[in-house]
Amino acid sequence: MTETPKNQPNSLARRPKWPTSTSRPVVTPLQPSVVYASPDPDALDAQYDEGSGFTYAREGHPNASVLAQKIDGLEGMSGGIITGSGMSAIGAVFLGVLQAGDHVIGGDQLYGRTLRLMADDLPKFGVQTSLADPTDANAIAAAIQPNTKMIVVEVVSNPTIRIADMDGIAKLCADRGILLMVDNTFTTPRGYQPFDHGADIVIHSVTKLLAGHSDATLGYVVAKDPSLMEKINIANVTWGLTPSPFDCWLAERGLQSFDLRYDRAEATAIELSAALAGLPGVTRVLHPSRPDHPDHNRAAKILGNRPGNMMSFEVAGGRKAANALTNAAPDLPFAPTLGDVGTTLSHPASSSHRALSEAGRTALGISEGFFRVSVGLEDPALLIAELTEAIAESQKA
Ligand SMILES: *Cc1c(COP(=O)(O)O)cnc(C)c1O
């Protein structure tokens, strides 16, 4: 090593040459660069004309591209994009596709923030919205207006685990020329393939099962029609809804084990729901695998043998029992997320559904003793033991 001569002009701000190597990294490199330098104006012009390559990270970067391609593969599509969150995926669709005077119908049990976006934000831009019960295609049909542009549904409702009438809704959309957008976060491409069943647009909160480790907040959106996809992409870039390279890098790493995680968590959810259903004090267990599920036949038809990792249960004894239950299960994080490697518990009455009146919650079947479980990767026997103990404690309260 030669020493840098003293008193030379400072060049620390110059980026070093990247060392070359004929061997290549096996792991996806993380590329945080905001900008990409071009050799000359002709080259930059050509790149813009082709719409290829990278110029500025808000407009696209390699870590978003590789992640999008992987999720495209799962959904059987191409041209999907990554957004900064699940909500920004929904935002990019609304901003790219809708205009003042349009009407949108949403399932009445959509993710809470999606409901809020529809109730409070879209009307500010002159877009009308209605909510209807997606388990009943007739209720959705009754909400259709001449200006209905889009119907937004989740296949499995949160936290009541009801199954939407996807075939009925898809037929309505096809007959009336309405766009069908499916939020496939809960079901994932492993449980449901929306494009095989009439969807026009699919979004994901990648934050949840796909990334799977609760350390990255991201979304994904893909549309069947390339011209629609272009509008959504432009909205994503223009409104700055685009993702961080680091989050994409983490999510791409997490996604490598998605299929294994999903299968394991789903198998455990089947086992756990069967075990909880027999316990004293448990008044209800909701999982699509169970024959007593209110939509069991539809679940079998739509999801086949992929009932997923999300389940809910109810204990007798109201809020007092609920407090005792979470206190007796300190190793099961009581936290409002889902799809993590670890099992999490949530209590909708005090979190996602606290803004509803008690009558509103009762109508949905959400009592003070109602819990949602996002089943993770723990040993099923451990989970069953922990919840059995916690439920027993809840009944002493
Ligand atoms: C979490 C979630 C969202 C929002 O995703 P974020 O990544 O938190 O913005 C949307 N839909 C469903 C079904 C979700 O669970």
The predicted-structure confidence for 7-24, as pLDDT tens digits, reads as follows: 677 788 888 888 999 999
Confidence band, pLDDT 50/70/90 cuts, at residue 2: low
Pocket lining: 314 vs ligand 1, CB cutoff 6 Å: no
Distances (CA, A) of 130 to 143, 145, 184, 361: 7, 10, 20, 19
Token pair, residue 362, equals 């009762």
The answer on pLDDT for 247 being more than 60 is yes
d(CA 43, CA 62) in angstroms, rounded, equals 19
Domain assignment of residue 353, yes or no? yes
**Segment 131-142 mean pLDDT:** 98
Residue 12 lies in a domain: no
Whether residue 346 is found in the same domain as residue 368: yes
Q: Which of 83, 93, 110, 113 to mutate to test the pocket of ligand 1 (most atoms within 8 A of CB)?
A: 113
Collapsing DSSP states into helix, strand and coil, what is residue 61? coil
pLDDT tens figures, 147-178:
999 999 999 999 999 999 999 999 999 999 99
**In a domain? residue 241:** yes
Asked whether the predicted pLDDT for residue 322 surpasses 90, the reply is yes
Alpha helix positions (H), 245-379:
245-255, 258-277, 296-303, 318-327, 358-364
Amino acid at site 277: A
- Alpha-carbon gap, residue 110 to 349, rounded angstroms: 16
Q: Range of 368's domain?
A: 258-396
Please report which confidence band the pLDDT of residue 180 belongs to, taking 50, 70 and 90 as the band edges: very high
User: How close is the Cα of 220 to the center of ligand 1, in Å?
Assistant: 11
Q: Do 149 and 119 sit in the same domain of this protein?
A: yes
244 and 146 housed in the same domain: yes
pLDDT at residue 3, rounded to an integer: 63
Q: Does residue 301 share a domain with residue 234?
A: no
Q: Residue 205 Cα, ligand 1 centroid: separation in angstroms?
A: 5
In a domain, 8, yes or no: no
H helix count then E strand count, the chain: 14, 11
Cα–Cα distance for residue pair 341/377, rounded to 1 Å: 6
Ligand 1 mean position to 153 CA, how many Å? 13
Does the model's pTM come out above 0.75?
A: yes
Residues 339/215, Cβ–Cβ less than 8 Å: no
pLDDT at 6 over 80: no
Looking at the structure, do residues 225 and 299 belong to the same domain, yes or no? no
Q: Are β-strands 81-83 and 310-315 bridged in parallel, bridged antiparallel, or unpaired? A: unpaired
Cα 87 to averaged position of ligand 1 atoms, centre (Å): 6
**Index of the ligand 1 atom closest to the CA of residue 208:** 1
Residues 229 and 369 grouped into a single domain: no
| Whether residue 291 is found in the same domain as residue 144 | no
pLDDT digits (tens, 9 = 90+) for 45-67: 999 898 889 999 999 999 999 99
The CB of 219 under 6 Å from ligand 1? The reply is yes
